[in-house]
C-alpha cells in the first residue's frame, strides 16, 4: 500500500511540474521575445499574465470536468492538449498568436494541479497530509529549477521558441506515467453546472486582467476603454455573487466558507499568489534591459530561487509537526525581507547581490505552500474536495496575474514620472555639465551627448520603478501576516474539526 501511494504521489508530482515549468521558462526569455516580436516591456508581460489568468478562469471547471470524465481521463485529455498548445507557442510568429496559444496552454494546464492534488489527498490519510503535500509541492519547485536553466541555455543557443519546444518531451513522459500508474477511484457523477455563474466569473476575471494590463498605457480612467472594461468587470462580478446567493446549486457553494480554516486558507493563498511569481517576472527584464545579462545567466538567477524553495520544502518535511501558523508567519516574513532587500538595488547590482534575496524568497515559498494547504483542507469534508481545490487554485492564479500587472504598472508609471523630473535638470545652463568629473561623457549641447544622457536617465528612472515595485511587494508580504490569527487551533496543538452537522448543511 505504501509503495502504491508513493508511485501515485510521484506521478502527480511529475504532472504538476508541467504547469510550474511554463511560467518560469517563459519568464527567462521575455527580453528576447520582446525584441523578436517588436513589442514594449508591458506588452511582453501579457505572455505571462494572460496565461495565468486563463488558468485562473479554467481552474474552477475542474470539479465539474472530474464529475463528467473522471480524474484519470481528464488528466489524459489535459496533458495532450497542453502538449499541442506548447508546440504551437513555439511556432507563433506574432504577439497576438503567442498570447492566444498561451491562453490555450493555460486552459489545458488548469486542471493538472488541482486534480493531482485531489488524487494525492484522497490517497493519503489526513495525518499524512503535511508530508504528502510537501512532497507533492516538489512539482512546483523542480520545474522552476530545471526550466530556467535549460530554457536559458536553449534560448541563448537557438531562440526563445525552444523554451516551449522543450516542454513537449516532458508532457509525453507525464502522459505515459498517468496511463500506467493512475487508476480512477473517484465516483463519476454528472453534476449540474452553473454555467451562468461560471461565465460571469470568467468575464469578471478577464475584464479585470485586461484593465490592469492596458490601464497604464491607456492612461487609466481617462480612457473610455478602461471605463467600459471596469464597468463590465463590476457587472459580471455582481451577477456572479447574485448567482452564488440565490441559486440552489451555484458555481461556488457558500457552504465551503462555513469552514473557517478553508476561508482563511483561501485568503492566505490569494496573498501567496500575489507574491509567488512577481520577482521571477520582473527580474529577467531588469537584468537584461538594464544590466545586459544573457538568458543563460538569468536562468541561473531564477533557478536559485527554486533551490531556496526546495530547502523550504525539506524543512517542512522534517518539521511537519510544527504549528503551521508559525510557518505561515515565517514564510511571509521571509518574503517581505527579500523584497525589501531587492528594493535597495541600484544599476550596479551584481548577480552575487541577488543570491541571498532569491534564496530567502524561495525558502519562504517552500514554507508557505504546504502550510497554507494543510490549514485550508484540514477540516474540510472530503466530498467537497474537487470543487474546493479548483477554487483554491483559481484564487492563487488570480492573485499572481493581478499583482504582476499592478507591479508592471507601478514600474512604468514611476519610471515615467522620475524621467520627467530628472530631465527638468538637463540644460546647457546647468553648471554641473561644466565639471568633467560630474558630466563624464554626457553633454547637453551635442546630439550624441543628449542621446547618451537620455539613455542613462531612462535606465535610472526604470531602476527607481523596479525599486518601488519591490517596496510594494515587501509591504504586501508584511501587511497580511495578521490573517493567521483567524485560524482555529487547539491549545494542545492540532487543527480543530468542523462538526458534521455543519458540514452537511444544505448538502
Rounded Cα–Cα distance for residues 286 and 350 (Å): 12
First-to-last alpha carbon distance for the chain, in angstroms, is: 32
Q: Per-residue pLDDT for 80 more than 80?
A: yes
pTM for the complete prediction?
0.79
Report d(CA 84, CA 101) in Å as an integer. 9
Q: What is the distance between the alpha carbons of residues 61 and 76, in angstroms, rounded to a whole number?
A: 16
Q: What percent of the chain has pLDDT over 90?
A: 13
Q: 483-492: long-range contacts (C-beta < 8 A, 24 or more apart)?
A: 483/264, 483/267, 483/268, 483/271, 484/264, 484/268, 484/325, 484/328, 484/329, 486/260, 486/264, 487/260, 487/261, 487/264, 487/324, 487/325, 487/375, 488/260, 488/261, 488/379, 489/323, 489/325
Using DSSP's 3-state secondary structure scheme, residue 431 falls into helix
> Which phi-psi region, left, alpha or beta, contains residue 70 (left: φ > 0; alpha: ψ -120 to 50)?
left
CA distance 278 to 9: 28
Query: Would you mind telling me the total number of residues written for the chain in this entry?
Result: 507
Residue 440's pLDDT band (boundaries 50, 70, 90)?
Answer: low
Quote the cell numbers at residue 343. Answer: 528594493
Distances (CA, A) of 484 to 10, 81, 347, 401, 475: 31, 39, 37, 24, 17
* Spacing of C-alpha 235 from chain mean position: 26
CA distances from 487 to 59, 276, 331 (A): 25, 22, 16
Distance of CA 200 to the CA centre of its chain: 23
Which grid cell sits at 184? 480512477
Give me the mean pLDDT over the 280-304 stretch.
83
180 phi/psi in degrees, rounded to 5: -90, -45
Task: Give whole-number Cα distances, 464 to 93, 143, 168, 352, 418, in Å.
Answer: 33, 31, 39, 20, 8
- In 3D space, the residue among 206, 260, 248, 247 whose CA is nearest the CA of residue 230 turns out to be 206
pLDDT band per the 50, 70, 90 thresholds, residue 497: very low
At 455, is the pLDDT very low, low, confident or very high (cuts 50, 70, 90)?
A: confident
**Residues 22, 83: contact at Cβ < 8 Å?**
no
| Per-residue b or e along 221-255, where b marks 16 or more CB atoms closer than 10 Å to that residue's CB | eeeeebeebbebbeebbebbbebbeeeeebbbbeb
Would you place residue 502 in the very low, low, confident or very high pLDDT band (cuts 50, 70, 90)?
A: very low
pLDDT in tens, 87-111: 999 898 888 899 999 999 988 988 8
Report for 122-136, 381-395, 492-506: range of highest mean pLDDT: 381-395
**What are the tens digits of pLDDT across the range 2-46?**
777 777 888 888 888 777 777 677 777 888 888 888 887 778 888
| 41 grid coordinates | 516591456
Taking only the tens place, the pLDDT of each residue in 135-149 is: 776 666 677 677 777
Q: Name which residue leads in pLDDT, 143 or 435.
A: 143
Which pLDDT score is estimated for 309?
83
Residue 501, SS3 per DSSP: helix
Return mean pLDDT, the chain.
Answer: 80
Of 41, 142, 53, residue with least CA distance to 469: 41
Does the pLDDT at position 491 exceed 60? no
Which range has the worst mean pLDDT, 13-22, 196-205, 355-364? 13-22
Torsion of CA 31, 37, 38, 40, to 10 degrees: -50
371-414 pLDDT, tens digit per residue, is 888 888 877 777 777 677 778 878 888 888 888 888 988 988 89
CA 41 – CA 61 distance, rounded (Å): 32
Kindly give, in sequence order, each residue whose CB lies less than 8 Å from that of residue 110, ignoring residues fewer than 6 positions away: 54, 55, 56, 57, 58, 59, 61, 62, 78, 393
- pLDDT band of 444, cuts 50, 70, 90: low
C-alpha to C-alpha distance for 401 and 46, rounded to whole angstroms? 9
Shortest CA distance to 269 belongs to which of 13, 63, 483?
Answer: 483
Amino acid at each position: 500500500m505504501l509503495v502504491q501511494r508513493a508511485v501515485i504521489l510521484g506521478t502527480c508530482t511529475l504532472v504538476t511540474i508541467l504547469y510550474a515549468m511554463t511560467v518560469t521558462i517563459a519568464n527567462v526569455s521575455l527580453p528576447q521575445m520582446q525584441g523578436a516580436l517588436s513589442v514594449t516591456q508591458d506588452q511582453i508581460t501579457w505572455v505571462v499574465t494572460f496565461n495565468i489568468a486563463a488558468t485562473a478562469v479554467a481552474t474552477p471547471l475542474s470539479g465539474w470536468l472530474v464529475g463528467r470524465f473522471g480524474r484519470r481521463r481528464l488528466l489524459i485529455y489535459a496533458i495532450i492538449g497542453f502538449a499541442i498548445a506548447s508546440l504551437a507557442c513555439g511556432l507563433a510568429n506574432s504577439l497576438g498568436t503567442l498570447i492566444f496559444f498561451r491562453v490555450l496552454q493555460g486552459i489545458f494546464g488548469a486542471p493538472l494541479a488541482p486534480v493531482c492534488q485531489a488524487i494525492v489527498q484522497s490517497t493519503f490519510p489526513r495525518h499524512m497530509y503535511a508530508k504528502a503535500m510537501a512532497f507533492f509541492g516538489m512539482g512546483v519547485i523542480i520545474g522552476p529549477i530545471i526550466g530556467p536553466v535549460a530554457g536559458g541555455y536553449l534560448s541563448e543557443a537557438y531562440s526563445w521558441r525552444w523554451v516551449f519546444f522543450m516542454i513537449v518531451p516532458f508532457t509525453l513522459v507525464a502522459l505515459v506515467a498517468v496511463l500506467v500508474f493512475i487508476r480512477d477511484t473517484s465516483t463519476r457523477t454528472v453534476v449540474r453546472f452553473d454555467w451562468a455563474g461560471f461565465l460571469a466569473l470568467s468575464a469578471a476575471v478577464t475584464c479585470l486582467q485586461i484593465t490592469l494590463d492596458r490601464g497604464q498605457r491607456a492612461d487609466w480612467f481617462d480612457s473610455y476603454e478602461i471605463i467600459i472594461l471596469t464597468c463590465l468587470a463590476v457587472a459580471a462580478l455582481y451577477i456572479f455573487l447574485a448567482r452564488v446567493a440565490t441559486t440552489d446549486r451555484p458555481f461556488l457553494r457558500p457552504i465551503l466558507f462555513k469552514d473557517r480554516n478553508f476561508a482563511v486558507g483561501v485568503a492566505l493563498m490569494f496573498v501567496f499568489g500575489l507574491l509567488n511569481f512577481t520577482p521571477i517576472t520582473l527580474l529577467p527584464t531588469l537584468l537584461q534591459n538594464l544590466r545586459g545579462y544573457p538568458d543563460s545567466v538569468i536562468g541561473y538567477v531564477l533557478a536559485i530561487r527554486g533551490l531556496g524553495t526546495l530547502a523550504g520544502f525539506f524543512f517542512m518535511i522534517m518539521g511537519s509537526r510544527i504549528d503551521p501558523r508559525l510557518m505561515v508567519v515565517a514564510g511571509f516574513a521571509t518574503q517581505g525581507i527579500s523584497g525589501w532587500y531587492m528594493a535597495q538595488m541600484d544599476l550596479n547590482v551584481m548577480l552575487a547581490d541577488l543570491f541571498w534575496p532569491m534564496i530567502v524568497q524561495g525558502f519562504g515559498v517552500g514554507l508557505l505552500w504546504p502550510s497554507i494547504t494543510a490549514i485550508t483542507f484540514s477540516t474540510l469534508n472530503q466530498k467537497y474536495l474537487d470543487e474546493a481545490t479548483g477554487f483554491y487554485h483559481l484564487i492563487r492564479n488570480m492573485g499572481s496575474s493581478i499583482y504582476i500587472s499592478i507591479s508592471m504598472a507601478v514600474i512604468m508609471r514611476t519610471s515615467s514620472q522620475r524621467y520627467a523630473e530628472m530631465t527638468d535638470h538637463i540644460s546647457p545652463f546647468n553648471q554641473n555639465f561644466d565639471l568633467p568629473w560630474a558630466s563624464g561623457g554626457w553633454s547637453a549641447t551635442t546630439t550624441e551627448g543628449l542621446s547618451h544622457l537620455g539613455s542613462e536617465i531612462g535606465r535610472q528612472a526604470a531602476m527607481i520603478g523596479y525599486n518601488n515595485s519591490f517596496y510594494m511587494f515587501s509591504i504586501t508580504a508584511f501587511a497580511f501576516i495578521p490573517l493567521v490569527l483567524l485560524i482555529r487551533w487547539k491549545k494542545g496543538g492540532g487543527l480543530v474539526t468542523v462538526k458534521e452537522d455543519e458540514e452537511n448543511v444544505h448538502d
